[in-house]
Amino acid sequence: MHSISLALNGKPVHGQVEGRTLLVEFIRESRGLTGTHVGCDTSQCGACVVSVNGKAVKSCTVFAVACDGAEITTIEGLAKGVDLHPMQVAFKEHHGLQCGFCTPGMIMASIDIVKRHGKSVDEETIRRELSGNICRCTGYHNIVKAVQAGAANM
């Protein structure tokens, strides 16, 4: 077992993990934050994306122990009290979801896209950048609209 300490949504957390424990298992099972989803076992779907030290990472493809000392933000860490993050608001307003399973990963990935490409990121870039986030419901059209609207308000 390894001891790890990290900042999860701004709060210091400590835990004991096995070498092979995945970050997503630590987040969901040890910390009970089930907003981060697991949609596949092949690292393809992107439902598990969280922010690790400011970068969007598939938390199913990283060991928790490798994140010792990291700052991690999950979908639960975005809202300030009752005020949703602009990207969350945009997904809600533009119907960027149906069942919502992919949404936490989509939103975490989208925020990362805006950080790197700026507020006026174009549709083509958004589509290319979201190729690792799979949605089986929406057909992506409204997701792209939501990301553009969210970007403008970030």
Judged by CB under 8 A, the number of residues near other proteins is: 28
Q: Please tell me whether residue 138 binds ligand FES under the rule CB under 6 A.
A: yes
**Both structure tokens of 88:** 């969350």
Nearer to ligand FES, 16 or 61 (CB): 61
124-153 residues in contact with other proteins (CB under 8 A) are 128-133
139 binds, among ligand FAD, ligand FES, other proteins, none (CB under 5 to 8 A by kind): none
Residue position matching structure tokens 């991690």: 72
Place of tokens 């077992």: 1
Task: Quote the tokens at residue 10.
Answer: 């701004």
Give the C-alpha distances (Å, rounded to integers) separating 154 from 22, 32, 98, 100, 108: 30, 28, 23, 22, 13
Looking at 9-17, 68-76, 93-101, 107-115, which segment touches ligand FES (CB under 6 A)?
93-101
30 binds ligand FES (CB under 6 A): no
Exactly one of 17, 23, 47, 113 binds ligand FES (CB under 6 A); that residue is: 47
CA distance 102 to 84: 18
Instruction: Say how far apart CA 57 and CA 153 lie, in whole Å.
Output: 23
Q: Which one of 40, 84, 89, 154 is in contact with ligand FES (CB under 6 A)?
A: 40
Burial status of residue 7 (CB atoms within 10 A of its CB: 0-12, 13-18, 19 or more): middle
- Partner that binds at residue 38, options ligand FAD, ligand FES, other proteins, none, CB closer than 5 to 8 Å by kind: ligand FES
Amino acid at 109: A
We find the least distance from the C-beta atom of residue 124 to ligand FES, in angstroms, to be: 21
Q: Which residues contact ligand FES (rule: CB under 6 A)?
A: 38-40, 43-48, 58, 60, 97-102, 135-138
